Amino acid sequence: MSANENTLPFIPFTRPHFNQETIDAVAEVLRSGWVTSGPKLAEFETTLSEYFGGRPVRCFANGTATMKIALQLAGIGLGDEVITTPISWVATSNVILGVGATPVFVDIDPVTRNIDLDKVAAAITPKTRAIMPVYLAGLPVNMDQLYSLAKQHQLRVIEDAAQAFGSQWKGQKIGSFGDLVSFSFQANKNLSTVEGGCLVLNNIEEAKLAEKLRLQGLTRQGMDGMDVDILGGKDNLTDVNAVIGLHQLKQLPTFQTRRTALARQYFDVIRSEMKSAGLESLKLELPVENFTDSNWHMFQVVLPLDQLNVDRAQIMTDLKDLGIGTGVHYPTITGFTLYQNLGYKTESTPIAQRIGRSILTLPLFPGMTDEDINRIASALAGILKKHLKN
């Protein structure tokens, strides 16, 4: 590492941005004395509903709760099967197990890295009740194909759109159509409430039931009483989180414009650096180069490990030594001990198995500079060249 490189600031793989207006708004909520679920939450849900074209929206403490409650709303439980992808944050399948159902993993498309919808039909059994697609890095699946398949087999669709806030399908916002659509507002998401999430629902009846499920099954009966008629949990979002979300929503178009510009630059500079390094024959897999559907939540490459003499961990270490943070999104779910003990095999989904051990998330967040992208692309090309097999 050169002296100059050693003094360069560290680039994390992501960093949330909260402006002074947001910070001031949080302080105002704290001073108000109403910091749990209250008027700001109601305002946030109304604003989100408008964003999604008038569909009912309810917010929750995190994106895991949104999926869990979506499964409950769909009536999925013991003995049921839910088809999903093995490349996701483990929460996707954990919530299926949590309601007593069985996750059925279908292999992924090597280009989009999302569930391969062409393979879903073969996995449907009489026990199948729903499909839960995941929009990895914000890229949606083919929504026409997804809902055609669901209609044909009379299945519910629970969209794990945790990473896809702001993404589109044929000009329509993800969440503005479809069945149950779950979003996360965790710290690294395009719109963050620090922790939180929302569920876009089909009708007011589902919304009312979701409200009860998120707060102990509580039914309010005026000023002098209340009742609990179903088993609920404690998954409500606070006004502190909600006011952050309201201000993030105002900034979303600016965030999105910058993410798109950074993604475009990644494609151009990585290809240029690879060519300059004489690595045209190296099979570094880039994302789908589509600038209309994805919200560019992450920029991920798949490393050509069969052409390198090191593993992914070493590549990540080398980048860290140059002041560049990276992430892994995600290892194959079926490789975790919990799922191995349940009888799942990584080799049953071979494309996911390969992607899961080779995928690498590069830094991408609105606060990055053009020079950051140049620096990352140059470092990556140099490291790949260093570790190229003879």
What pLDDT, in 10s, does the model give residues 32-47? 999 999 999 999 999 9
- Who contacts 65 (Cβ-Cβ below 8 Å, separation ≥6)? 197, 214, 233, 235
Residue pLDDT, tens place only, 352-373? 999 999 999 999 999 999 999 9
Distance of alpha carbon 200 from alpha carbon 194, whole angstroms:
19
Quick one: how many helices (H) and strands (E) in the chain?
Answer: 12, 13
Quick check: 127 pLDDT over 90? Answer: yes
Please state the length of the chain: 390
Going 163 to 114 to 79 to 76, the CA torsion angle's sign is positive
Going 37 to 40 to 45 to 48, the CA torsion angle's sign is negative
Q: Are strands 156-160 and 180-184 parallel, antiparallel or unpaired?
A: parallel
Going 36 to 39 to 40 to 46, the CA torsion angle's sign is positive
Contact call for residues 44 and 59 (beta carbons, < 8 A):
yes
Distance of alpha carbon 64 from alpha carbon 90, whole angstroms:
10
Asked if the peptide bond before residue 51 counts as cis, ω within 30 degrees of 0, the response is: no
Residue pLDDT, tens place only, 307-349? 999 999 999 999 999 999 999 999 999 999 999 999 999 999 9
Q: What residue ranges in the chain does DSSP mark as E strands?
A: 57-60, 81-84, 102-105, 128-132, 156-160, 168-169, 172-173, 180-184, 197-200, 218-220, 226-228, 299-302, 359-362
Q: Write down the residue that tokens 């470092």 correspond to.
A: 379
Quick check: 87 pLDDT over 90? Answer: yes
Which of these CATH numbers, 3.20.20.70, 3.40.640.10, 3.40.50.1260, 3.40.50.970, describes 20-246? 3.40.640.10
Give the model's pLDDT for residue 2: 44
Q: What is the DSSP letter of 335?
A: G
**Which phi and psi (to 5°) does residue 180 adopt?**
-90, 125
- Please give the single-letter amino acid code of residue 352: A
CATH class of 252-386: alpha beta
* HSE toward the beta carbon, residue 240, CA cutoff 13 A: 10
pTM of the model: 0.95
Return the domain boundaries, the chain: 20-246, 252-386
Distance of alpha carbon 235 from alpha carbon 60, whole angstroms:
5
pLDDT band at residue 221 under the 50/70/90 scheme:
low
Catalytic residues: 189
Contact call for residues 51 and 222 (beta carbons, < 8 A):
no
For the segment 6-34, the average pLDDT, to the nearest whole number, is 94
Q: Write down the residue that tokens 């793989």 correspond to.
A: 13
Nearest Cα to Cα of residue 82 among 105, 109, 98: 105
Nearest Cα to Cα of residue 59 among 239, 216, 187: 239
Nearest Cα to Cα of residue 163 among 174, 177, 171: 174
Instruction: List the Cα angle 377/380/385 in 5-degree steps.
Output: 125
Quick check: 4 pLDDT over 60? Answer: no
Quick check: 258 pLDDT over 90? Answer: yes
Give the model's pLDDT for residue 291: 82
Quick check: 164 pLDDT over 90? Answer: yes
**Which phi and psi (to 5°) does residue 194 adopt?**
80, -65
Q: Which two tokens stand for residue 385?
A: 């060249």
Distance of alpha carbon 258 from alpha carbon 246, whole angstroms:
19
Distance of alpha carbon 328 from alpha carbon 336, whole angstroms:
14
